[in-house]
Amino acid sequence: MNALLSPTVTRTVARRPLFLVSLLVALVVAVALSLVLGSNDLGLGTAVRVLLHDDGSEAATIVRDVRLPRTTLGVLVGLALGAAGVLMQGHSRNPLADPGLLGINAGAALAVALAAQLFGIADPGSQVWFGFAGALVATAAVFAIGSSGRQLSPVPMALAGAAVMALLSTFTSLIILSSNPTLDVYRRWVVGSISGRDAGISLGILPFVVAGLVLAMINTRALNAVSLGEDTARGLGQSVVASRVVGLAAITLLAGAATAAAGPIASLGLIVPHVVRAVTGPDHRWLMPCSAVAGAVLLLVADVVGRLIAGPAEVPAGIVLAILGGGAFVLIARRTRLVRL
């Protein structure tokens, strides 16, 4: 079979397993850096020791109560957004698509603003459930508006997402501008950050992220067929409607949980699939897991960078990623062969 492939394709196929292993190693390194670096730098040996045995020291408090929950959430959110980005770009066949295209970010933002305005909720542990509910409602609205009968064409879905996003963003602006306390709560959430979250948030979103990742991997074979065109996919025996339903469910679970827990993390779901696709090629069976792991690595690295560049006053990971992602996307967009789906 390999004899029928071009040398370029053969090299791409051969390096996929090595690339995935390299990403997993990079994830382990990023986790270690996240545990030891910050305003109080710790040695790796100290971090491992206090993880295995809580001796009541200051180092144990920092690692177990602050950095471990933060790192765990970063891994989950990064995995979720990396995979969700692949799904969005694959199903919409739009290289500029990201998880916010279905109104997920706007729905979560409105729910968080309403929770602060009506109930005075400012705790991230309580916000996450309102944000997730808002993301689900917004996605259901886009699904209902964008679907035509049994058809789930990506263009009407994208238009419906843009319309719902604009409407919900308007309501959110009205709410936060009418109340300074609500504005303060919303301002802290909307920058996108994994700091200040306890372990309960990671445990809360874990089932949704796992379920979303399972659906995403199940959806990879159908995505490969759909990328050849809907008529070709049907000729190969794939149900386009069923594949889109599974994909949308996975996007909702992954992006909804991630956004609710950490706020909107700009650029991650948009940039990571493009970078990974340059190495793995368009085969979603490899693109999906590699993008998920790369998303986790990038988010943890951005969080560590945000801790170090500003001293005690940390820069949220969402802002670091927005800065890095903007420049990276300009470079990627100029290399058109990387963004062509």
Q: CA-to-CA distance for 175 and 220, rounded, in angstroms?
A: 40
The DSSP annotation for 304-319 comes to HHHHHHTTTSPPPHHH
- Is residue 5 scored above 90 in pLDDT? no
Q: Please give the span between the terminal C-alpha atoms of the chain, in angstroms, as a whole number.
A: 25
Q: Which of 90, 99, 71, 74 is nearest to 267 (CA)?
A: 99
Query: Residue for token digits 């397993």?
Result: 17
Instruction: Please state, rounded to an integer, the average pLDDT across all residues of the chain.
Output: 86
Q: CA-to-CA distance for 268 and 257, rounded, in angstroms?
A: 15
* Residue 151: strand pairing partners: 148
Under the banding of pLDDT at 50, 70 and 90, the label for residue 54 is: confident
- CB of 303 within 8 A of CB of 194? yes
- CB of 267 within 8 A of CB of 324? yes
Percent of the chain at pLDDT above 90? 42
- Biggest alpha carbon–alpha carbon distance for the chain: 67
Query: Rounded to whole angstroms, what are the CA distances from 31 to 15, 44, 100, 335?
Result: 24, 11, 27, 31
**Interval 89-143: pLDDT, tens:** 888 877 777 877 788 889 999 999 999 999 989 888 888 999 999 998 998 888 8
Secondary structure (H, E, C), 117-135: HHHCCCCHHHHHHHHHHHH
pLDDT at 4: 47
Q: CA-to-CA distance for 59 and 45, rounded, in angstroms?
A: 11
pLDDT at 237: 79
Under the banding of pLDDT at 50, 70 and 90, the label for residue 151 is: low
Amino acid found at 2: N
Q: CA-to-CA distance for 20 and 81, rounded, in angstroms?
A: 17
Q: CA-to-CA distance for 188 and 311, rounded, in angstroms?
A: 19
- Across the range 70-76, mean pLDDT stands at 96
Per the model's pLDDT, the better-predicted residue between 212 and 150 turns out to be 212
- Is residue 253 scored above 70 in pLDDT? yes
pLDDT at 107: 93
- Across the range 221-238, mean pLDDT stands at 82
Supply the DSSP symbol for 62: I
Residue 106: partners with Cβ closer than 8 Å, 6 or more residues away: 100, 138, 164, 165, 168, 169, 172
Q: CA-to-CA distance for 164 and 162, rounded, in angstroms?
A: 6
Under the banding of pLDDT at 50, 70 and 90, the label for residue 6 is: low
- Across the range 215-237, mean pLDDT stands at 85
pLDDT at 30: 97
- Is residue 332 scored above 80 in pLDDT? no
For the whole model, what pTM was predicted? 0.90
- CB of 267 within 8 A of CB of 329? yes
**Interval 22-51: pLDDT, tens:** 999 999 999 999 999 887 888 888 888 988
Residue 263: partners with Cβ closer than 8 Å, 6 or more residues away: 189, 190, 191, 192, 193, 318
Domains and CATH numbers, the chain: 26-339 (1.10.3470.10)
- Across the range 284-313, mean pLDDT stands at 91
Q: Which of 264, 250, 257 is nearest to 214 (CA)?
A: 250
- CB of 19 within 8 A of CB of 12? no
**Interval 256-288: pLDDT, tens:** 999 989 999 878 988 899 889 989 988 999 999
Q: Which of 2, 18, 21 is nearest to 10 (CA)?
A: 2
Q: Which of 258, 132, 111 is nearest to 176 (CA)?
A: 111
Q: Which of 190, 200, 208, 319 is nearest to 263 (CA)?
A: 190
